[in-house]
Amino acid sequence: MAERPFDLLTEAIGKEVLIILKDSVAIRGKLKSFDVHMNISLEEAVELKDGEISKRYGTVIIRGDNILLISV
């Protein structure tokens, strides 16, 4: 069981996550890695608009200070 936020992210590596950015952009993808600054690396990343895929990115790195929410 995850007790700290980093524990939860560690358990989610290899699983699909949803990330909401400060400008309300939603990105979904498979969590590859993260660091102490909450920079996130995703594979098979897609941008969602109204729950539908609007852009396909593949592998991306999202800067931690742009992240508002991470759903595992």
- 5: pLDDT confidence band, cut at 50, 70 and 90? confident
pTM for the whole structure: 0.91
**Structure confidence by residue, pLDDT tens digits, 25-51:** 999 999 999 999 999 999 999 999 999
- Give which of 7, 44, 40 is closest to 28, Cα–Cα: 44
**Half-sphere exposure of residue 59: CA atoms within 13 angstroms, side-chain side:** 3
- Please list the residues that pair with 53 across neighbouring strands: 48
Pairwise CA distance, residues 68 & 1, whole Å = 23
Domains along the sequence of the chain with CATH = 5-71 (2.30.30.100)
For residue 5, the SS3 value is helix
